Each structure stands twice: as C-alpha cells, then as structure tokens.
Amino acid sequence: MGFRNIHFIINPVAGNGKSPLTKEYLEQYFINSFHHLSVKYSTHKKHAIKLAKTSIAEGADIIVACGGDGTVNEVASSLVGTSIPLGIIPIGSGNGLASNLSIPKNLRRALELIKNSHTVRIDVGRINDKYFFSNTGLGFDASVIKNYESSERRTLTGYLMACLRTFRQLKQSGDIKICINDLNILIDPFMIFASNSNEMGYKLSLTPKASLKDGLLDVLVISKIGRFKMLLLGILMVLNKSHLMKEVKSFQTKSLVLINQGVPLCILKSMANYIKFRMEEFPFKLKNMNWRSLFRKTLNRSVYLARLKHFKLSLDFAITLLP
C-alpha cells in the first residue's frame, strides 16, 4: 500500500490560487484505515522549509510539495541528508521540474503516484551551501526571476512581463572569471545559466539536452549582447534553438567556479544520483489486456518499451532523496 504517514505541504497561492487541495479533498484518494494524512499550508517565502522540518520531526514517511518550483525547492532542500521521500503535486505556474519528470498536472493521477510509491533516482545541483533541483543563473536570468517573484502574476504573461522589466533595467555587470573543465574564461556575461534539468517551466528550455540522471550540470554562458540580439535570443529560446547564436557557449561539467575581482562568487556542483527515483510497479489499467501473454512475448526489453510507447502509457512516480 506504499507510504503510511503522508505529509502534504501546500502553497495555497500557487498557480492561480484556486487549487481544491484540502485534507477533506485528499482523504478521498487514500485508505482511511491505513493512511494517515497531515496537511500544512505555507504562508510566506521559506515557510515550507520550516514546515518540512516539522514534518520530519513528526515522523513523516513521505513529504509532498504541492505548489510550483519554489515550493518544491524549499521542501526538497529540507529533505537532503534524510531518507524521507519527496512527492510532488504540481499546482504552480511553471512546474519545470515536475514537467521534466512527467508528473501529471491532473490531481487524481498525481495523487495515485504518491499512493503507489513509484521512485527513481535523479541528480541534485548545489550552489555554495544551497541546493537546486532544476536550474540557477547569474545575470539576466537571475534578474528575471527576481522580478517575477515580486510580481503578482504567476502566469506565462507574468514571466514575459518580468523579462521586459529586466530588459529595461539591464546594467553592465563587469568581467567574471569562469573556471570550468580546466578552462579559465574571462567574460562580461549577459547570462550564466546552470541547469540540472531540461526545462525552466512553461515548456521553455535553454538546455534541451540536459538530463537529471547524467551526473552533470549543463551550463550556458552568453557573452554581453545588444538589445536586438536579446530579442533574438528570446525567440530562439522559445524554439529551443538558443545554441544557434555565436555568443552562446555550452558546457557539461561536474562543477564550476565563478570569480569576480579575485573573489569567488559561487561554486556550483552536481551531486550525481543524489535523489532516488526508482520504478516499483506499473499502475496501468488497460481493458482486455493479458499481462502474462504480454510479458512472454516481450522478453526483449527494447521490444517491451516499444510496446509501452505504442500504447502511449505514462509512468507515474514520486521522488526519494537519499542521505
């Protein structure tokens, strides 16, 4: 039956703030005689960190982050170093990590994943003493996130407005030294972007080839560009073709160091396979399916996977953080 003591940490203003998630709503998807649900609501930034630590002390078997990437990051960061699994119910606006992991937005299906305990293993990024699970950046991208978080619009339109605001506020940052893969690069950057996953949210990506399971960070370094090329970059980003610009340099690395005027700004590292994400069972419900016959005829794994793809089945899961 999977996890028994399930703790939900809900951001009530995530997305459009109209999620129906309450304890009463959640209880209809679980077995009252077996599952024990605890529901907590975050009310301000970093509150989910405190709530997650409380749930750890209360002996949670799994802690489920219900919100967007911000809520997920706060809860997941609190679980690093513990054996407590992380679940995700994506009710935020961007949901970049959940989308990359193919976690459905449909609440019923997402809750079934938590109930059935599906896990796999993924990487975690670290910048200085903080963890990140999707991506982090310096320069234009970091300014966009700052403006987006200060906005009341948690939509794609709000994200685009944050981009325009950052566009108007753009300032020269000065030269930064990047130490990566035995190279020392001195650059006045428009953006330095490090990604653990291949999606930023809203199906947008600067690193479409990034993988959560390769033990590497995908790093994008973009030198200073003019406003016209900024607009061009935005178009190419929507098309997942940002690499076509000559000012864009891509790297894969396990770590990098950023130095400004001789002082290290930050150290970024990839912690390979730090999150366990293992498939335990398949919650498929297909009519008129003879499973014994199917497995007999598909001993070859590649044939089996091809048939699953043919039936357009989705694999559902939660995430477990390893100590």
DSSP-assigned letters across all residues of 226-242: -HHHHHHHHHHHHTT-G
pTM listed for this prediction: 0.73
Q: Is the pLDDT of residue 1 over 90?
A: no
Mean model confidence pLDDT for the chain: 76
Determine whether 20 is exposed, middle or buried from the number of CB atoms within 10 Å of its CB (0-12, 13-18, 19+): exposed
For 141, the token pair is 């991208």
Give residue 7's pLDDT. Answer: 97
Give residue 267's pLDDT. Answer: 76
Q: Which residue has the higher pLDDT, 91 or 299?
A: 91
For 94, the token pair is 């961007």
**Who's near 25: CB < 8 A, 6+ residues apart?**
none
Give residue 300's pLDDT. Answer: 40
**Who's near 75: CB < 8 A, 6+ residues apart?**
9, 48, 49, 51, 52, 63, 65, 86
- Strands in 248-253's sheet, in edge-to-edge order, are 135-139, 189-195, 217-223, 248-253
Banded pLDDT at 172 (limits 50, 70, 90): low
Give residue 155's pLDDT. Answer: 60
Residues 108 and 308: their CA atoms lie apart, in Å, by 22
Can you point out the beta strands (E) in 164-262? Answer: 176-180, 183-187, 189-195, 217-223, 248-253, 255-260
Is 274 within 8 Å of 124 (Cβ atoms)? yes
Give residue 263's pLDDT. Answer: 67
In a 3-state reduction of DSSP, which class is residue 25? helix
Residue type, 160: L
**Which residue stretches of the chain are H helix?**
23-27, 47-57, 69-79, 96-100, 107-116, 140-149, 156-169, 227-238, 291-297, 301-310
Banded pLDDT at 154 (limits 50, 70, 90): low
Q: Is the pLDDT of residue 48 over 90?
A: yes
Give residue 307's pLDDT. Answer: 33
Residues 161 and 155: their CA atoms lie apart, in Å, by 10
**Which residue stretches of 21-94 are H helix?**
23-27, 47-57, 69-79
Q: Which residue has the higher pLDDT, 307 or 62?
A: 62
Q: Is the pLDDT of residue 60 over 90?
A: yes
Cα–Cα distances (Å) from 160 to 102, 141, 231, 288, in that order, read 24, 12, 12, 47
Is 130 within 8 Å of 184 (Cβ atoms)? no
Banded pLDDT at 64 (limits 50, 70, 90): very high
Give residue 159's pLDDT. Answer: 59
